[in-house]
Structure formats: structure tokens, C-alpha cells
A and B are shown apart, each in its own frame.
Chain A
Amino acid sequence: MKFKEILVRYGELSTKGRNKKDFINRLRDNVRYSFNDIMPLKIRAERDRMFIEIENDEKLNVLMDRLPHVFGIQSFSPVASCGKDLDEMKALALDILEDYRDAGDITFKVEVHRTDKTFPLNTHELQREMGATILPQFSNFTVQVKKPDVTLRVEVREDAIYMMAQVIQGAGGMPVGSNGKSLLMLSGGIDSPVAGYLMMKRGVRIDAIHFFSPPYTSDNALQKVKELANGLTKFGANVRLHVIPFTELQVAVKDNVPDNMSMTSTRRMMMKVADKVREEVGALGIVTGESLGQVASQTLESLTAINDVTSTPILRPLISADKLDIIKIAMEIGTYETSIQPFEDCCTVFTPASPKTKPRLDKVQHFESFTQFDELIERAVKNRETYIFPQKEVKEDKFTDLL
């Protein structure tokens, strides 16, 4: 195994003065957290970069596979090392570059960094020596000093020689958890997971809330939401999902509020429930997947009427995004396929024929005033079920036998 560690370069946090240490620690914890299944990992977090030790190929593969999703990482490189011996170095360099032999024409350079000043060859000599060894071996390489396709970086450190050739792009953003916690309203559609993802990218830890209306919505719909919540965990944090039994409230709205305003009222109830849950779990904001003008509940008038129930910051990262752009992100982050499974959700079961796109707040308030919704809200909040993701994967044993 040629690679012994992975070097991780930090993202935006390198600009964060005094909080930097917290950011780095948070990232280290998140990395540990994301690779819970391949523990123990030896992680060394330094001021400018982090090193993850790799003991075997299996771990390397898992890391290479999942590190690109962890927020707060600018880029990373698998690093090989060898003794401070010129022959060993040459052999290792050739070994690393072997991966590029079949990659077509490639521009290339060697970059040497010498921290150990006692090494007999100086930077330029070493650069030339390595280049002269490598180039005759690869007919598809040509040297280019500015912007080469591949840079073999050779670091002469106190303890050993370190080499790397690959720089893999990370997800960027900030380590999840470095910017507090918010409650994500997760419907099961395409938009809300994307909204959650974007907030996580800004370092926000997510709890999710889902409104479940059996028997109008099925276990399939709930299962789908669980999958979405679980899908969000790969960006470097756990996600708690609060499932609210919503049938009672939803039916009460349907029965007591005129049809064309029931949608607005339902959303207001959801917001009230969400705000209570938010408070209980210690989140500071509520995140929604709303995008302006997409549906009747997402006009400015509707948003005003819905927003009226709380003064909590409502974060709407998709407010100005086009549907196609949202779909594109959903595909990239792997939630799209789950989202488009066709199950009824709480927002579609009682959709009125012509909901008001410009509801008047005073009218909505007036119609709601005849019913004791608060009691129902309390009950819904109290009876919620909470799931924590990622769940230990429960293998579907009944199928294993068949396969």
C-alpha cells in the first residue's frame, strides 16, 4: 500500500481569526463522525491542514469515497511516504505516477518542498533529479511549470519523504455545527432536502421535522422522508427527524376553515408546531424549501400570512432558485431519486381546488379563531416520534436468504 495518510486542506475556515480552533475541532469531530463505521481513525489536526492516517486499502477507499461530501474541506490528497533515500524516492514517484500512464497526453511538473535542510540535495537538485528519472519513463508526459495537469509534490520532512500527485476537490463550505442548529421542514419533495443541504453547507446543524397524516399518507411516504433524512447525514453530521402526528390538526383545519384558505391555515399550523419543536430542541431557526412563486403557498402574500405565527428566523435558501436548478442540486446530492417517489404527503392530501394565492391575514386569523387549535398543537408536539440518523444499517434479513 503506497498511501499512508490523507492530507486535508481546510475550506473557508482558514480566514476565521480567533474561532479557527473551534472550526478545526468541529471538522475533526465531523470527520470522525462521518467515518464512524471504520473507526478507529488517527486524525492529526494542525493549524493549516489535517492528516488522517490510513492503515489499509479498505479504509482508503471509504475515505476517498466519502470525504468529498464532508463540508469544511477545500481539497484533500492521498499522501505516500518513504525513507530519505534517493532510490526509494524515485521508485515511489514512479509507483504513484503509474496511475497516469494511460491517461493520454499530460503536462507535468515536480514540486519540491524541503523542510529538512540537512537533506543532501537542495530543492533544485532534487527537482531535476526526480524529473530526469520520471520523464523518460512516461512517453505521455511533457513538462509544464505553469498550470500542469499533474504536479508531483515531494516534501522532505524531518521524519520521512512525503509525496502526492492527486488533489481532490472537497465539498467546501463550513463544518456542520459551526453555525448553530436549525429545524428543517422536510416534506418529502425535491426542495426541502436541497434546502437542508445548503444550510448544512453553511455549517448549520439540522434537525428535521415531518408532518405525518395517516391514513391519508402512507408508511411509504414516511419511509421516503426517513431515507431523505438519512441521506443528509453524509455531509458530515447526524440528523434527528421529528415525526409529527398531524392528521387531527389537518382534519380540524379542513372542517373549520373555508376551503380556499385551508391551505394557508394548514401551513400556519405546521409553522406553529415547528416553532414549538424548534424551541424544545434548542434550534435557532426554521429552514424551509420554499421558492418564491412555485406554488400558491409560496407567494409573498402567503408567506406573510404563514410567517405571522412566529418571530423565529425562517431561513429559505431556495427562495430565488429556479426549479431546474433545485433539481440539479438534488441530483448531485443524491436525494432526487428518493424525492420523486410518488407518494402522497401531508401537503397534497387535502389540497383545495383553488387555494388563495393572496390570502388576507386578518381573514385567516378570523376563521381560525373559532377553533381551539392550541390544544391540538400541544398534543401533536408532545406525541412526536424522534428518529436519529444515520441509523445502524438494519440489513433486510428476509431478503438476504433469497439472494
Chain B
Amino acid sequence: MIYLDNSATTKPHKEVLATFMQVNELYYANPASIHRAGVEANTLLAKAREQIAQLLNTEANHVLFTAGGTESNNFAFYGVAKKGNFRGKHIITTEIEHPSILEAAKRLQSEGYEIDYLKPDKNGVISLDELQKKLRKETILVSIMHVNNEMGAIQPIEEAATIIHENSRAMFHVDAIQSFGKLPITFKDEAGPDILSLSGHKIHALKGSGVLAFRKKPMIEPFLVGGGQEFGLRSGTVAVPQAVAFAKAARLAIEALPVQLEKYKKWSTNLHEYFAQFGSEIFVLSPKNGAAHILSFSVRGLKGEILINAMQKRNIIISTSSACSSKQTKTSHVVEALNVDGQFKNGVLRLSFGAFTTNEEIEEFKEAFTAVMKELKGDNER
């Protein structure tokens, strides 16, 4: 099976699974217990936290383990909003965020918060001018995703950070779930994001693991309360094996990043050229300067599902633009926000690469896709 749906989820690394198994077998004690086994589990957890902090250029006690990307995003959103609402209730985000941000925004809106949505241009990139204009004294949070999950647009995070920090006291949250391990993203000493969301299963770790990390001391309202774990910000016994597996996967991802990035770029260019051969039959949504590991495209008048099935018969897994919303029938909010032409709107497909993708697989994809196009569209339409 050729798996080209790595933005939906990834296959865990063997080494990461080995870590997960071993930690479950050897260090299963509760890290909050004071007996030796507990202390050992806690030491291991602390080391995992430290490792992630180093990769992100922050302090260990600024790294919180969560149950995944949605929780991290929700937590950042609600947590900052509730903690900061004495300063104001204004929040800025974009139209093309993941639903875990947009739904959280909606809910806050119903609670009296004011949300401004930035509109992307046709390449999916927000306007920094618009951002600057919308910032005000009451703005407490700006949340912008680094890489869009549906079409790979990269937002100008550093420039946005500078604008936000120079013009407001808002916290800058970046959903880095699709970019961590694929593009460089860390905290910077001064400029840069204040909060980062990461998800384990997008970097070949396990589902059910995530991180919410802070540049400075976390100023956030907990929404899980209880035993006071995770510095009192997220109670509940910490899932040590998941956390350690996350730390390992994160290290592997960052170590491999330069090499992987080159590969993704090569494949992306290659496929952009390949799709161009089909002329106006295929519309490529992903901008050429977008994230190279995501490539979204659409075939004129063809529903996405038909192509997915046809490719699947040839043992190649591709997907619609977002796994999270693929079972919904309406057009994705991202595609809507980008004003995609009607003939292409309903068939947006996404190829996404991961650590296990190979050159051969890309070639096989092209071969199979050419055949499928012939089958579905006939020779003469080329």
C-alpha cells in the first residue's frame, strides 16, 4: 500500500513504538507517586519534557502534555480567553483554521467574546496589514495556523509575531500541528509565537498525544482540574508512555528535518510539473511556495470520492482535503474561503508525504494517476 495521507495521520515509527512498549512495561508507575517506581517514571517524564523543551527552545516547565492537537488548540483558545478576559474579550484568528479553533471561537463568541476572522488571499495567505488594522487594546489572543492542513499554505508567522507584539499585548498562538517536524518552527527569544500546539500522531508518534508549549510561563486557565498535575494546568495522571514516545518522535523528526524537507520539495516540484501536463483539467490549490509535504488539487467536474476509490483500487491511498471533515457533504470552509472555481470545488484531493514516503512511491502514484485519468476522462479530453 502506498500511503499518501500523512497529514491525516502517520504510521508510528518502529523505534517510537518500541519506546512506547518499553515504557509501559518498565515505567508504568504513577509519576506522581513517591515510591521508587513513581520517582523513576517521573524522572523519565521530566527528561521527555526537557527534550521537547530543548527542541522548541523553551523551558521544561513551559511544556504541557495533552491528549492531542484538538485538545491543545482548544486549551490554548479557552485557556487564554478565560485568563485574559479582564483585559479584553477580543480575539483574532483566520477563516482557514482547523475546526478545533473555529468551533472554539464560535463557542466563545456565544459567550460574549468578539472574534475577528482574517481572510486569506487566493494562495491561502493572510494579510499582515489586515492583521495590524484589527489589533486593538482589548485583543487578548491571536491564533494563526502555521501550515494549513488542507492546502499547505504557510503563514508569515515571524512577521505576524512582530506585528502582534509591537502593537498589542495579545498572546500569539500558533497551531503548528501540520508544520512541526516538516518546517522549522520554534520559539524565538523575542519575536515569535507565544504558544505552540503540536500533535503526536502527525509526527509518527501515537494518537492521543500532544503538546501545548509556551515561550514564557504559561498564563492560562486550566480546564481540567483535580490532582494538579502538569503544574496545575492539566490535571489527570500523565500518560507517560505517550509523552515519552512523543519526545522520541519529535527528536527523530527534527533530526531528519533538513533531509526530509529537501525530499518534500523535490516531490512537490515534480508533482506540480506533472499536474501541469493536464492543463486546465486539473487545478492545483496548493501554492508553489506552500508547505512542500502537502499538495492539494482538484479535477474538473470530478467528485473527490470517485478518484479516491479509483486510486484505492490501485493500492494507493490519497484523501480529500481534510480527514476531519471528509464525511461531511458540504464544501470545506477552506475551499470556500479560497473562492475556488465551482467546477473544482467538490473534488479537492490531498496528497501528503511523511517520513516513510519514497521516490518510487511518487513515481508509482503518477503512473497510476495517469491511468485513472485515462479511464475516467478518456484519451481525447487530454
Stretch at the interface among A193-201, A281-289, A395-403: A395-403
Indicate whether A102 reaches chain B with its CB closer than 8 angstroms.
yes
Note all chain A residues with C-beta closer than 8 A to B247: 403
The reply to whether B248 and A402 contact each other, CB–CB distance below 8 Å, is yes
B213 within 8 Å of A (CB atoms): no
Q: How far is the CB of B121 from chain A (nearest CB, A)?
A: 29
Find out whether the CB atom of B248 lies under 8 angstroms from the CB atom of A403: yes
Least Cβ–Cβ distance between A98 and chain B, in angstroms: 14
- Tell yes or no: B133 within 8 A of A by CB: no
Tell me, in angstroms, the Cα distance from A395 to B110 when the chains sit together: 52
Query: CA A402 – CA B26 in complex, angstroms?
Result: 11
Q: Is the CB of A403 within 8 A of B244?
A: yes
List 13 A-B residue pairs with CB atoms under 8 Å apart, sorted by A's residue number.
Answer: A102-B190, A220-B34, A342-B34, A399-B43, A399-B44, A399-B47, A402-B19, A402-B23, A402-B244, A402-B248, A403-B48, A403-B248, A403-B251
- Judged by a CB distance under 8 angstroms, whether A219 is at the interface is yes
Q: Say whether A343 faces chain B, with CB atoms less than 8 Å apart.
A: yes
Interface size on B, residues (CB 8 A): 17
User: How many Å from the CB of A218 to the closest CB on chain B?
Assistant: 8
**Min CB–CB distance A139 → chain B (angstroms):** 15
Distance, CA A401 to CA B22, complexed state (A): 10
A residues near B34, Cβ cutoff 8 Å: 218, 220, 342-343
Q: Does B330 contact A (CB under 8 A)?
A: no
Tier of interface size on chain A: 10 to 19
- Residues of chain A within 8 A of B229, CB atoms compared: none
Residues of A within 8 A of B23 (CB): 402
Q: What's the least CB distance linking B192 to chain A, in Å?
A: 13
> 1/0 per residue B48-66: CB within 8 Å of A?
1001000000000000000
List, in ascending order, chain B residues with CB within 8 A of A401's CB. 19
Q: Does B327 lie at the interface of the complex (its beta carbon under 8 Å from any beta carbon of A)? A: no
Q: What 0/1 pattern do residues 1 to 34 of B give for CB contact below 8 A with A?
A: 0000000000000000001001100000000001
Once bound together, how far apart are the Cα atoms of A342 and B39, in whole Å? 11
Nearest chain-B residue to A398 (Cβ)? B26
Binary contact readout B220-247 vs A (1 if CB under 8 angstroms, 0 otherwise): 0000000000000000000000001001
Q: Which residue of B lies closest to A219 (CB)?
A: B36
- In the complex, what distance in Å separates the CA atom of A219 from the CA atom of B35? 9
Minimal beta-carbon separation of A74 from chain B (angstroms)? 27
Q: Which residues of B contact A342 (CB under 8 A)?
A: 34
Compute how far the CA of A399 lies from the CA of B47 in the bound complex, rounded to whole angstroms. 8
Closest A residue, CB atoms, query B38 = A220
Of A102, A220, A223, A403, which contacts B51 at CB under 8 A?
A: A403
Question: Which of A219, A396, A402 has a CB less than 8 Å from the CB of B22?
Answer: A402
Mask for A327-355, Cβ within 8 A of B = 1, else 0? 00000000000000011000000000000
Q: Assuming A402-B244, A403-B244, what are 12 further A-B pairs, CB within 8 angstroms?
A: A102-B190, A218-B35, A218-B36, A219-B36, A223-B39, A342-B34, A343-B34, A396-B47, A399-B44, A403-B47, A403-B48, A403-B51
CA separation between A201 and B248, bound complex, in Å?
A: 41
1/0 per position for A99-139, CB-CB distance to B under 8 A? Answer: 00010000000000000000000000000000000000000
- CA of A92 to CA of B44 in the docked complex: distance in angstroms? 46
Instruction: Give bound CA distance, A218 to B22, whole Å.
Output: 26
Nearest residue, chain A, Cβ from B22: A402
Which of the residues A219, A343, A396 comes within 8 Å of B43, measured between beta carbons?
Answer: A396
Closest Cβ–Cβ distance, residue A260 to chain B (whole Å): 29
Contact pattern, A 197-218, Cβ under 8 Å of B = 1, otherwise 0: 0000000000000000000001
> With A402-B22, A402-B23 in contact, do A220 and B36 touch (Cβ < 8 Å)?
yes
Q: How far is the CB of A337 from chain B (nearest CB, A)?
A: 9
- Give CA–CA (A309, B44) in the complex, Å: 45
Distance in Å from the Cβ of B68 to the closest Cβ of chain A? 20
**CB-defined contacts of A403 to chain B, threshold 8 Å:** 19, 47-48, 51, 244, 247-248, 251
User: B44 near A402 (CB under 8 angstroms)?
Assistant: yes
Contacts of A102 in B (CB 8 A): 190
- Shortest Cβ-Cβ A-B pairs, 5 listed: A402-B19, A403-B247, A399-B44, A403-B248, A399-B47
Q: Give the residue among A102, A220, A343, A399 with the most B Cβ atoms within 10 A.
A: A399
Q: Which residue of A lies closest to B248 (CB)?
A: A403
In chain B, positions 157-190 with a C-beta closer than 8 Å to chain A are 190
Which chain B residue has the least Cβ–Cβ distance from A224?
B39
Question: Could you say which residues of chain B place their CB within 8 Å of the CB of A219?
Answer: 36
Please measure, in the bound complex, the distance between the C-alpha atom of A402 and the C-alpha atom of B251, giving whole angstroms: 11
How far is A387 from B265 in the complex, measured between Cα atoms in Å? 55
The smallest C-beta distance from A150 to any residue of chain B, in angstroms, reads 17
Residue of A nearest to B51 (CB): A403
Contacts of B35 in A (CB 8 A): 218
- In the complex, residue of chain A having the shortest beta-carbon distance to the beta carbon of B191: A102
For A221, the closest partner residue in chain B by CB is B34
Within 8 A of A (CB), among B131-145: none
Contact with B along A382-403 (1 / 0, CB 8 A): 0000000000000010010111
Instruction: Chain B residues near A223: list those with CB within 8 A.
Output: 39
Note all chain A residues with C-beta closer than 8 A to B19: 401-403
Q: Which residue of B lies closest to A223 (CB)?
A: B39
Contacts of B244 in A (CB 8 A): 402-403
A218–B37 Cα distance when bound, in Å, is 12
Verify A220–B248 contact, CB threshold 8 A.
no
Interface members, chain A 363-391 (any B CB < 8 Å):
none
Which one of B22, B39, B190 lies within 8 Å of A220 (CB-CB)?
B39
Query: Inside 8 A of A399's CB, which chain B residues have their CB?
Result: 43-44, 47
Q: How far is the CA of A102 from the CA of B19 in the complex (A)?
A: 44
Residue in chain A with minimal CB distance to B61: A337
Q: How does the 8 Å CB contact mask read for A160-183 relative to B, with 1 for contact and 0 for none? A: 000000000000000000000000
Enumerate chain A residues within 8 angstroms of B47, measured Cβ to Cβ: 396, 399, 403
Expressed in whole angstroms, the minimum distance between the Cβ of A138 and any Cβ of chain B is 17
- Assembled-state Cα–Cα distance A401/B43 (Å): 14
- Measured in the bound complex, the distance between the Cα atoms of B35 and A102 in whole Å is 50
Minimum CB distance partner of A103 in chain B? B190
| Docked pose: A343 CA to B244 CA in angstroms | 25
Residue on A with the closest CB to B190?
Answer: A102
Q: How far is the CA of A402 from the CA of B242 in the complex (A)?
A: 12
Taking CB as reference atom, which chain B residue is nearest A343?
B34
Give chain B residues whose Cβ lies under 8 Å from the Cβ of A396.
43, 47
State in angstroms the CA–CA spacing of A342 and B51 once bound together.
25
Residues of A80-112 contacting chain B, CB below 8 A: 102
Give the Cβ gap from A344 to chain B, nearest Cβ, in Å: 9
| CB-based nearest A residue for B250 | A403
- Chain A contacts for B44, CB-based, 8 A: 399, 402
- Tell me the minimal C-beta distance from B53 to chain A in angstroms: 13
Determine the chain A residues whose CB is within 8 A of the CB of B36 once the complex forms: 218-220
Bound-state CA distance A396–B43 (Å) is: 10
Question: Which residues of B (190-225) have their CB < 8 Å from a CB of A?
Answer: 190
